[in-house]
Every structure is written in C-alpha cells, then in structure tokens.
Amino acid sequence: MVKKAAHGFELDKNDFVMLTKSNAELAQKKVDGSPKEVNEKKASKIQKTLRAIGENSSIQNELCQLIQEKAKVNFSGGFLEIIRRINITNSTRLSEEEQEEFAEYIRCNKEKILKRIKKGEVGVVNDIAEAGTKTSKKRYNFSFASKFCTYISRYHFNEYDKFMPYDNVLQSVLPYYAWVYCKIKKVEDFKKKGNYQGYIDLARKIIEQSQVLYGSEERLTLKEFDRLLWYKYKGLLGEDLIGNPNSLLIKET
C-alpha cells in the first residue's frame, strides 16, 4: 500500500515524494489554488513565485501574459520588462544594472537566442549567464539564465520538456533521487561548474528510471518534475528536507 502524506502526496519508502503523474498533477493543482492557502507566515517571495507559476485555465499567470504580449510584436519593446518580472517573482536578485545588461544582450542577439531556445539548445543558458559577467558585479547568473530560457520556452514556444529552472531546492534534493533511482552516489554542484547540460541530463535520467518503478504512463515532463519537487520542498509546504545533500538519510532503496 502506498503511503500518503497529510497533503495527499504519495510517498516512497523513505518518505520522499514519488515521481508520478498523480503527484505532479496534485502539485500543480495546489499551486493554482495557492493564493487562497498561503498564510502570512510564508515569505513574500514564495507567495509571488506561487502566484507567478499558477496555471488556472481561467486566470493565466501574469508572466505568461507578458511574454505572449511581447511576442505578438516580436519583442520589439525589448526584454527588460520580462526580466524585471522574472526577477521579482523568482527572486533572482538581479540589480537594476544587471537587468538592463541582460536586456541589452538579449535584444542584440534576439533572433539567435530565440532560435536556440525554440530548438531546446541548452547551451544558450550558459551563454546568457556569462553575459552577466560584463556588469560591474561580474556575476555568473546561472539561475536567472535558466529561468529566462524556461519561461520563454514554455510561454512563447509552448514547450514544456526542453528547459527547467535551476534553483537551490532542486540542486539540494537531486542527490536523493539520483541515488535511489539511478544509483548515482555523488551529484556535482551544477551551478558552480556552469553545467546546465549535466543538470538537465540528470533530471531526464531520473525521470526515465522512474518509469521502471511506476510505468511508462507515469513519465513526467521536465516542467512536471521541477514543479513537483519545488512545490513539495519549498513552495507552500516547504518541507525541511533541504540542506547538505550528503546528509540525506535513506532508509531503503
């Protein structure tokens, strides 16, 4: 008998959320209803993110609307407004200078960048991230670049299985799933190495191996994989399983 958490998610033998369609659908449903559930104790940045990624069919999220509006005019108004919205809702902590620098870089390379995102060419993430090193702060903005490409891919090209955001939640919880599903003992720090390809490849490998356990009909897209783990371990629930990846306790594989 499958164990269920108090919020309805199916759990594995180690009390981690199972990578199944039903869990992914439940996570999205909870995200869509989150504005009604988020209490005052939740950090405002998490509230903003939950509202930004909601996909209620009757209330399209603001980031999606903004990207689609800009796309209608071939992004002729530039990308600064989109970048500002991502910065606010995804807490990428870009300074105003950095936001303007990214907007100018993407504007100048618009056709090439959009073409690469459409094709799912993940190397574009590293190229955009490196553009941030031209600012006075000289930061390699790996997380922002992954989120920009993800949202353009989803909301402009309607692709949900080519990119996914990089964030600390996924980086921290991936070692568990890599070990249990793929028998990979150590997961590199993808951000430190600027290895977005490796990040995506590992996620896909975990998803593929989950089908061995749960069946091919349970295969998740990258969006579903990301949304489920992010929501369960940081979103509305924010369960305290994030920390040193090497300290995760595994009861049984």
Question: What sign for the dihedral angle of Cα 222, 82, 123, 132?
Answer: negative
Q: What is the mean pLDDT of residues 117-143?
A: 85
Contact 143, 189 (CB under 8 A): no
Inter-axis angle of helices 196-214 and 142-155, to 10 degrees?
A: 60
Residues in the chain: 253
Identity of the amino acid at 219 = R
Going by pLDDT thresholds of 50, 70 and 90, the confidence category of residue 135 is low
Identity of the amino acid at 245 = P
pLDDT at 108 over 70: yes
pTM here?
0.85
Q: How far apart are CA 60 and CA 63, in angstroms?
A: 9
Q: Which of 89-93, 122-126, 247-251 shows the highest mean pLDDT?
A: 122-126
Question: Residues 157, 163, 168, 174: what is their CA dihedral angle, to the nearest 10 degrees?
Answer: 140
Here the tokens at position 234 are 């940081």
Q: What is the mean pLDDT of residues 229-245?
A: 61
Q: How far apart are CA 202 and CA 178, in angstroms?
A: 7
3-state SS string for 172-210: HHHHHHHHHHHCCCCCCCHHHHCCHHHHHHHHHHHHHHH
Across the chain, what does the average pLDDT equal? 83
Query: What are the backbone dihedrals phi and psi of residue 142, each rounded to the nearest 5 degrees, phi first?
Result: -60, -45
pLDDT tens string 51-77 = 656 665 545 578 888 999 999 999 988
